[in-house]
A and B are shown apart, each in its own frame.
Chain A
Amino acid sequence: MQAKRTRSILWAALLAGTFLVAQCPKADAQQKANSPRDPNQSPAALPRPKSKASQTYPAAQIKAGELRFGAQCGFCHGRDAAGGESAPDLTRSELVAEDVRGDRLGPLIRTGRVDAGMPAFKLDDSELNSIVAFVHNQMDKFATLSGGRRSVEPADLATGNAADGRAYFNGAGGCSGCHSATGDLAGIANRYRGLALLQRMLYPSGQSDASPREDMSRLTSGQMAHFVQLGAYTDAAMHNVYAYLDTLR
């Protein structure tokens, strides 16, 4: 399918907003300050968020929003707003749940999240409001459904062996060269669950240092080490290390 923009490697960053990835050896020190319910957690791994304020919209406005959403947002977020090629399921979005008549969504849509691959959209108020109406209506509609068509649940990922993962972490994987189960990773599984933990384990995305480098890469040395490791993992080793990290609570 046509995937066409700078894309989903920044997916996790998009969910996370911004936070710094510290250089090795204290790779995860920054996250300790974060609340247990980190926004980086996979939305699919959480109970569906509930709308903060009940909102109803005229049917004609929802219909107009469906049209515009399909055209301009649907490829990435799905025609039904439940997730598409590269962007999250909005029916499970905390931001949508907190939004009241566009107070949160409006500025975001107009500004975009350019670094994460979402462009800024120039829309007049009526166009914007119709999109807001459609997204809220979809959230309400999906709240009555169980599961998620494109979901990845924490239980799906629990196929590895934690003891083998620990051995890999301390041995072949070389993870312990930078990380420590009692240091930066203590309680990591309380901060990240399911897909979010797996994604963060594979590649700690987020903002890196802003200064351009000669080699065009903005990767930190820690990210570089993770990138190299992506070429070394077997799927079994990946699941084992995930299982091990999932015990660090």
Chain B
Amino acid sequence: MSHYILALLSTGFIGVAAAQSVDSEKLLNPPVDAWLTYHGAYNGQRHSGLMQITPENIQNLKQMWRFDTGGNQVIKASPILVDGVLYLTTPDNLWAIDARTGKERWHYQHPLNNAFHIGHRGAAVYKDTVYLTTPDCHLIAFNSKDGKIKWNVVIADSSKGYWSSNAPLVVKNHVLVGVSGDFDNVPGQLKSIDADTGKTQWIFYSTPPAGGTQTASGGATGGQMWTTGTYDPELNLVFVGTGNPTPVLNGTIRPGDNPWTCSIVALNPDTGKLEWGFQVSPHDTHDWDANEVPVQADADFDGQPRKLVMQASRNGYFFVLDRTNGKNLLTAPFAAVNWAKGIDSLGRPIPNPAKEPKKDGVLVAPNEAGATNFRPPSFDPKTGFLIVSAVDGYGIYFFKTEHGAYGWAGADYGVAGKSFLRAIDYRTGKIAWEHPIGDGSGTAGVLTTETGLTISGDNRESVMALRTSDGATLWHENIGRMQNAPVTVSLDGKQVLIVAGGPSLYALTLP
């Protein structure tokens, strides 16, 4: 219906709208007609203040347009929206799409390369530039208007086993980019690249760089920072989750806690200096990256106003920390767990050596895919719920000396899982409600809105809306399997929900 009319209207609007310059100020205070960063706001809450779509009218949502990527890859990205243009990615691909019509403005396709193409989380924008990481670890800067390449730099050596799926985080003039690399024993690195020139400003190593003399990690490599962090401008700190150590399942070769793998680290974005670190899985042997979003909230804890950072982590535990100093306030399981002997004085689960991978196998909860994963949760300030896609899952883990000490170094198999959307009360760690979303692992991220909506996806290829206060089902619609979170913006005064299912991106709005 309104497809054609909207297309006409949008032409007019584009003509009159003044181009937004995405400066640091705008990144700090994103306008309602844009989604400027991976999480939409630096605090990582994925909570929108827009009020048009409500629990009462959400079932009236209608499709404005659908954009198909047409390739092999499903969309695992969270889109960026600025100046009425969406930037959407899959591995090797970046599209600029008219947000009012769903029509392609320009498309970049990266040359074929043999780095892993398992997913891509999204682009980043600053001033008139769009940034894309590629599987073979390039960071490419494009002119946002026409897709012309401004510069193209290598951020890691993909021939050594690194690849990138990372959505960069722009803080001031720093483009923070991470990489992956689990099948090789390579150090964990996060790079800050000058937003204008592409020059490297600093590198933070979560495990010691190759060829050095540092032994702090106990011989572990890994700890990759492949997901997008959050930023607190007052503290001038970036919070990033780090991945599992390598070799992955062989823990005997790397004794000790293996810092800073499986950790939340707080970094100064101007220098890359580590302010504090908190290890959510000391000495991980189960591939439980702590790359889940470190979500910030300014809220009371035990009657005191606190600056909090929280994470529902892949290892099955929920953590609340004071983000000024990294001190633990709360640790509580949010899914089936059987691998820890208890919680230590620092608030860290104590790994049970009996649950390390063994020659004859051990039965472990969660399984390797984790109690959750990179799919972003959302924090609803009104209820104090962190709403997360969780799995009660079990896997069997094997390690014998023949598996060696390089890369995976072991074998593991998922056994079974049941998944839920769970609302964790940040004050207690208790599950306020849960909503079953199917067997196996969920893949959808979460968006909450000020009208009390929780929007996510189930394992049956539906986008769904629940009431944030109690998890009651309000709406669902089949769009294909969701692999990230929806976003919402106001375009020409109308609230639009933008959500990817399978290889397609949908824009939905009220009639």
Measured CB to CB, the residues of A under 8 A from B are 1-12, 66-72, 74-76, 78-79, 83-86, 119-123, 147, 149-152, 156-160, 195, 198-199, 202-203, 205, 212, 215-219, 223, 226-227, 230-231, 233, 235, 238-239
Q: Separation in Å of the B367 CB from the closest CB of chain A?
A: 7
0/1 per residue, B107-132, Cβ < 8 Å to A? 00000111111110000000000000
**B369 interface contact, C-beta 8 A:** yes
Instruction: Show 24 A/B contacts (Cβ-Cβ < 8 Å), sorted by A.
Output: A1-B243, A2-B118, A2-B119, A2-B182, A4-B118, A5-B483, A7-B414, A7-B440, A9-B416, A11-B413, A71-B117, A72-B72, A79-B183, A120-B72, A122-B72, A123-B72, A156-B361, A156-B398, A202-B363, A230-B415, A235-B358, A235-B361, A238-B361, A239-B361
Contacts of A74 in B (CB 8 A): 114, 116
Size of B's binding interface in residues, CB under 8 A: 70
In the complex, the answer to whether B244 meets A239 with C-beta atoms within 8 Å is no
Measured CB to CB, the residues of B under 8 A from A are 71-72, 74, 76, 112-119, 135, 165, 180, 182-183, 226, 243-244, 248, 287, 289, 291, 336, 338, 354, 358-363, 365, 367-370, 373-374, 393-396, 398, 400, 402-404, 408, 410-411, 413-418, 436-441, 443, 458-460, 481, 483
Contacts of A160 in B (CB 8 A): 360
In the complex, the answer to whether A150 meets B403 with C-beta atoms within 8 Å is yes
Q: Separation in Å of the A218 CB from the closest CB of chain B?
A: 5
**Complex formed: what's the CA distance from A221 to B32 in Å?**
48
Q: Separation in Å of the B254 CB from the closest CB of chain A?
A: 16
In the complex, the answer to whether B359 meets A216 with C-beta atoms within 8 Å is no
Question: In the complex where A70-B115, A230-B394 touch, is A157 in contact with B361 (Cβ < 8 A)?
Answer: yes
Other A-B pairs beyond A74-B114, A203-B416, A235-B358, 14, CB < 8 Å: A4-B76, A4-B443, A6-B459, A9-B367, A66-B114, A75-B117, A119-B74, A150-B408, A151-B402, A156-B398, A202-B363, A216-B437, A219-B418, A239-B361
Q: Separation in Å of the A107 CB from the closest CB of chain B?
A: 16
Q: Separation in Å of the B179 CB from the closest CB of chain A?
A: 11
Q: Which residue of B lies closest to A79 (CB)?
A: B183
**Complex formed: what's the CA distance from A106 to B324 in Å?**
56
Q: Which residue of B lies closest to A117 (CB)?
A: B440
In the complex, the answer to whether A10 meets B360 with C-beta atoms within 8 Å is no
In the complex, the answer to whether A3 meets B361 with C-beta atoms within 8 Å is no
**Complex formed: what's the CA distance from A169 to B460 in Å?**
35
**Complex formed: what's the CA distance from A66 to B418 in Å?**
36
**Complex formed: what's the CA distance from A227 to B439 in Å?**
11
* Cβ-neighbour of B415 out of A9, A68, A75, A219 (below 8 A): A9
**Complex formed: what's the CA distance from A158 to B361 in Å?**
10
* Cβ-neighbour of B360 out of A5, A218, A239 (below 8 A): A239
**Complex formed: what's the CA distance from A68 to B114 in Å?**
6
In the complex, the answer to whether A205 meets B436 with C-beta atoms within 8 Å is no
Contacts of B418 in A (CB 8 A): 217, 219, 227
In the complex, the answer to whether A238 meets B363 with C-beta atoms within 8 Å is yes
**Complex formed: what's the CA distance from A219 to B416 in Å?**
10
Contacts of A79 in B (CB 8 A): 114, 183
Question: In the complex where A149-B404, A202-B394 touch, is A235 in contact with B460 (Cβ < 8 A)?
Answer: no
Q: Separation in Å of the B396 CB from the closest CB of chain A?
A: 7
In the complex, the answer to whether A9 meets B443 with C-beta atoms within 8 Å is no
Contacts of A4 in B (CB 8 A): 76, 118-119, 373-374, 443, 483
Q: Which residue of A lies closest to B119 (CB)?
A: A4
Contacts of B393 in A (CB 8 A): 9
